[in-house]
Amino acid sequence: MRFIPLLCVLLPALTACYSGESDSLRAPVSNEGVSVTIQANLPAGLLQANVAASYFQDGRKAALVAGDIIVAKSDTDSAILRSLQNLSGDYSTVVDLSDATAGIEFAVDFDPVAARADRWYPVDELLVDPGPGELVGYRTQVAFPEAIVLSSPLSNEIYTTRSQEIVLSWTTSPDTEQTRFTSVQTCFSGSREVQWGTSDILSSADPGSHTVSVGELIPSTNFVNQVTNTLSALSVIIVGSILETYSFGLIGRQDIKIETFDLEYCTLSLTVFREVGNDLGADISGGFAIGSTSDTVTVEYRP
Amino acid sequence: MKSLLLPWLLVMVLGMYSAVGHADTGSAESRQVYLLLSYDWLDVADADFDNSLSAEAGVLWPLQQRFYLEAAVTGINDASTPTQEDNTGSYQLTLDSVELLAGIHYQTETDWMDSLVLFGRGGLLAYRMEITLDEAFYGLKPSGSDTASDSGWGFYVGAGVLWDLKNRWLLRSEFTYKQRSDFLDDSSKPFDVRSTGINIGIARTF
């Protein structure tokens, strides 16, 4: 199969050019002590939150091993965050909930049996236990903002030229601290497929609408590459998990020369996040804890 | 059922001792002792153990025409999984087992070749098995090992051929299937250890 897995979503460890407003919620990771980068997102109409977290020690991303786990707890569910790439330090999962106002608690726990629950042999009989790591005990509570629902564009709307504008609109909310627009473009040519993501902070806290041209999302020349920076990568990855396309640790960075790709059509998954910042928790010296709600609509570009 | 294991083992060991003792005297013409090399393919839950090379030694005691009582000792020798990795660490498991077999063995001559005898066998299997976990944590925490063992029951079946080499010596070859049930049955995930094997060896009649 001549499938070209050209994905351009940044791993959080990578940096890239970034366009748009500065991010007021995502403080940098501290070079001393423990930092976290956490996001919990609740997509519109669902009672299931996508959550992602990384922990840092003295500015370096920490992998949790041997029974140290990150657990996300809602009012009704508790789930261990997993990484699809061992030692990446990037963890994610989904958590069911019934009451969004209860938020999500992230905790680093020590549970050697639960950490090995996916193994085939009886871990209660066979266990090497070197004890808890230094991150165990850190906790962060994340609250969600008011739900966001896109009233335009309509799902599956078709655009035929790059000059056409896509107008996204939604009802504003006074508790919004920041609005982020994230898109994942997937273009097809026969059996070939190319995919990349973009993410921007909007100019005001909650403008209620955002206009973007098709050409801004799907350029006709030059390389298309990831345009998120380190701090916005979580949003793209969370969108990816909504789309079941991206996953933590599976995504590599690669530039794509778009003019070499004879595209037949593209799908554009457009997501608007309503974001609020949360306290990091006791003794955590840097990073961020974002609670967000989002709505996604998918449109098509058929030149 | 485990409470029966020790008495059963005692009976089997005494039976084998008695049979070999008689064999040494050569007082029973159709008694047999045999020694086999076994190459077994293991099937264990979702694990991918490598294949095991081991031995089987046993005696056949005549019951009536063509039927024998069989007792044997065999096992699993150092069968290991590949080292696997997940978020928690890397791990490898190794199985060792000692097994006693007791059952019925049936032999029949062939019409088309005088020196060839076909046989089938089956019976109970008692095992004493040990599994060792070697686990490491990407150098972030100290590595180590842990071991668990358990006794239990299972069964075996087999079929093969004996080739009469004359002077009471026989060449023996067979396929076997063994199942050891409910290993670590007090744990959260008991599992069966199945094996399919090829045995080749020699037998001697007395």
Alpha-carbon distance of B50 to B79, in angstroms, equals 6
**Residue among B46, B47, B131 whose CB faces A126 most closely:** B131
User: Which residue range forms the structural domain that includes residue B82?
Assistant: 2-205
What does the pLDDT look like over A224-254, one tens digit per residue? Answer: 544 333 334 555 555 555 443 333 333 444 5
Higher-pLDDT residue of A233, A211: A211
Instruction: Report the predicted TM-score, pTM, of the whole model to 2 decimal places.
Output: 0.80
Closest CA–CA distance from residue B39 to any residue of chain A (Å): 24
pLDDT above 60 (res A12) = no
Q: What is the pLDDT of residue B109?
A: 87
Q: What is the pLDDT of residue A194?
A: 77
CB contact under 8 A, A87 and B138: yes
pLDDT above 50 (res B181) = yes
Average pLDDT, chain A: 83
Alpha-carbon distance of A1 to A143, in angstroms, equals 44
CB contact under 8 A, A126 and B46: no
> Which residue is closest to B135 within chain A, CA to CA?
A128
Span of A129-143, A191-205, B42-56 with lowest mean pLDDT:
A191-205
CB contact under 8 A, B140 and A65: yes
In chain A, residues with a C-beta closer than 8 Å to the C-beta of B142 are 130
Q: Cβ of B51: how many Cβ atoms within 10 Å?
A: 12
3-state secondary structure of A279: coil
> Which residue is closest to B45 within chain A, CA to CA?
A120
In chain B, residues with a C-beta closer than 8 Å to the C-beta of A131 are 141
Alpha-carbon distance of B128 to A238, in angstroms, equals 50
In chain B, how many domains are there? Answer: 1
Alpha-carbon distance of B65 to A101, in angstroms, equals 81
**Residue among A82, A83, A124 whose CB faces B188 most closely:** A124
Geometric angle at alpha carbon A44, from A41 and A47, rounded to 5°: 70
Alpha-carbon distance of A247 to A231, in angstroms, equals 17
Closest CA–CA distance from residue B58 to any residue of chain A (Å): 32
Rounded to 5 degrees, φ, ψ at B3 are -65, -20
Q: What is the pLDDT of residue A298?
A: 95
Categorize the per-residue pLDDT at A56 as very low, low, confident or very high, splitting at 50, 70 and 90. Answer: very high
Categorize the per-residue pLDDT at B2 as very low, low, confident or very high, splitting at 50, 70 and 90. Answer: very low
3-state secondary structure of A216: helix
CB contact under 8 A, A115 and B87: yes
- Pick from B138, B88, B141, B90: which is nearest to A133 by CA? B141
> Which residue is closest to B193 within chain A, CA to CA?
A121
pLDDT above 50 (res B66) = yes
**Residue among A64, A115, A122 whose CB faces B188 most closely:** A122
Alpha-carbon distance of A236 to A251, in angstroms, equals 11
When pLDDT is averaged across residues A109-124 and rounded to a whole number, the result is: 96
pLDDT above 70 (res A6) = no
Residue A18, C-beta contacts closer than 8 angstroms, at least 6 positions apart: A227, A228, A229, A232
Closest CA–CA distance from residue A244 to any residue of chain B (Å): 21
Closest CA–CA distance from residue A111 to any residue of chain B (Å): 11
Q: Which residues of A touch B (CB under 8 A)?
A: 63-67, 82-83, 86-87, 115-116, 118-128, 130-131, 133
In chain B, residues with a C-beta closer than 8 Å to the C-beta of A71 are none
In total, chain A counts a number of residues equal to 303
Q: What is the pLDDT of residue A204?
A: 85
Categorize the per-residue pLDDT at B1 as very low, low, confident or very high, splitting at 50, 70 and 90. Answer: very low
What does the pLDDT look like over B26-43, one tens digit per residue? Answer: 333 479 999 999 999 999
CATH code for position B105: 2.40.160.20
In angstroms and rounded to an integer, the radius of gyration of the C-alpha atoms of chain A is 20
CB contact under 8 A, B86 and A86: yes
In chain B, residues with a C-beta closer than 8 Å to the C-beta of A89 are none
What does the pLDDT look like over A178-205, one tens digit per residue? Answer: 999 988 888 888 877 777 777 788 988 8
Span of A83-87, A106-110, B129-133 with lowest mean pLDDT:
A83-87
Closest CA–CA distance from residue B157 to any residue of chain A (Å): 26
The DSSP letter of residue B3 is G
Place of tokens 């060839």: B116
What number is the ipTM of this complex? 0.81
How many interface pairs between A and B have CB atoms less than 8 angstroms apart? Answer: 81
What does the pLDDT look like over B109-129, one tens digit per residue? Answer: 888 888 899 999 999 999 999
In chain A, residues with a C-beta closer than 8 Å to the C-beta of B189 are 120-123
When pLDDT is averaged across residues A110-118 and rounded to a whole number, the result is: 96
Q: What is the pLDDT of residue B22?
A: 40
When pLDDT is averaged across residues A94-121 and rounded to a whole number, the result is: 96
